[in-house]
Chains A and B, each alone.
Chain A
Amino acid sequence: MSNLEDLYREIILDHYRSPRNRGELPSPPAHKVEGFNPLCGDEVTLYLDVHDGVLSDIKLTGHGCSISQSSSSLMSAAVKGKPLNDVNATIETFKQLMTGHESALTTEEEADEEVDLRTLGELAALQGVVKFPVRIKCATLAWNALRQGLDEIANQN
Chain B
Amino acid sequence: MSSFNVRRIRADIPLLQREINGRKITYLDSGASSLQPHAVIDAMSRYYELRHANVHRGVYQTANEATEAYEGSRAAVALFLNAPGGADEVVFTKNTTESLNLIAKTWGADHLAQGDVVLVSEMEHHANIVPWFQLREATGVEVRFIPVGDDYRLDLTKLDELLDGVKLLSVTAMSNVLGTKNPIAELAEAAHRVGALIAVDGAQSIVHGVTDVQELDIDFLAFSGHKMLGPTGIGVLWTRESVLDTMGPFMGGGGMIADVRVDGFTPAKGVARFEAGTPPIAESVGLRAAVRYLTGLGMENVADHDHELTVDALTRLESSFDGRVRVIGPSDTKDRGGVISLDVEGVHPHDVAQVLDQFGVCVRPGHHCAKPLMKRFGLAATARASFGPYSTTRDTDVLLEALTSAVSMFG
Contact = CB atoms under 8 A, between A and B. Distances in A.
B358 A135 contact: no
A145 B409 CA distance: 29
Interface string B2-27: 00000000000000000001000000
B358 A1 contact: yes
Interface stretch (A19-27, A60-68, A84-92, A100-108): A60-68
Contacts of A138: 350
A4 B355 contact: yes
Nearest to B380: A41
Contacts of A154: none
A138 B365 CA distance: 14
Contact of A64 (B21, B347, B348, B367): B348
Contacts of A39: 366
A135 B380 contact: no
Contact of B380 (A4, A7, A63, A69): A63
A135 B366 contact: no
A77 interface: no
A112 to B, nearest CB: 24
Interface string A1-29: 10110011000010011000000000000
B350 A40 contact: yes
B381 A40 contact: yes
B354 A40 contact: no
Contacts, number: 45
Given A39-B366, A41-B367, A65 B358 contact: no
A65 B351 contact: yes
A135 B354 contact: yes
Contact of A13 (B349, B350, B365, B410): B410
Contacts of A7: 354
A135 B409 contact: no
Contact of A65 (B21, B350, B367): B350
Contacts of A65: 348-351
Contacts of B348: 64-66, 69
Contacts of A4: 354-355, 358
Interface in B59-114: none
Contacts of A3: 21, 358
A66 B381 contact: no
Interface string A65-95: 1110100000000000000000000000000
Given A4-B358, A40-B381, A41-B380, A66 B366 contact: no
Contact of A132 (B354, B365, B410): B354
A151 to B, nearest CB: 27
A114 B48 CA distance: 48
Interface in B343-399: 347-351, 354-355, 358, 365-367, 374, 380-381
Given A3-B21, A8-B351, A65-B350, 6 more contacts: A13-B410, A17-B410, A40-B365, A64-B350, A64-B380, A65-B351
Interface of B: 21, 347-351, 354-355, 358, 365-367, 374, 380-381, 409-410
Interface of A: 1, 3-4, 7-8, 13, 16-17, 39-42, 63-67, 69, 132, 135, 138
11 contacts: A1-B358, A4-B358, A13-B409, A16-B410, A39-B366, A40-B365, A40-B366, A40-B381, A41-B374, A41-B381, A138-B350
Across chains A and B, which 8 residue pairs bring their CB atoms closest together, nearest first? Answer: A65-B350, A65-B348, A41-B380, A4-B358, A66-B351, A65-B351, A41-B381, A40-B366
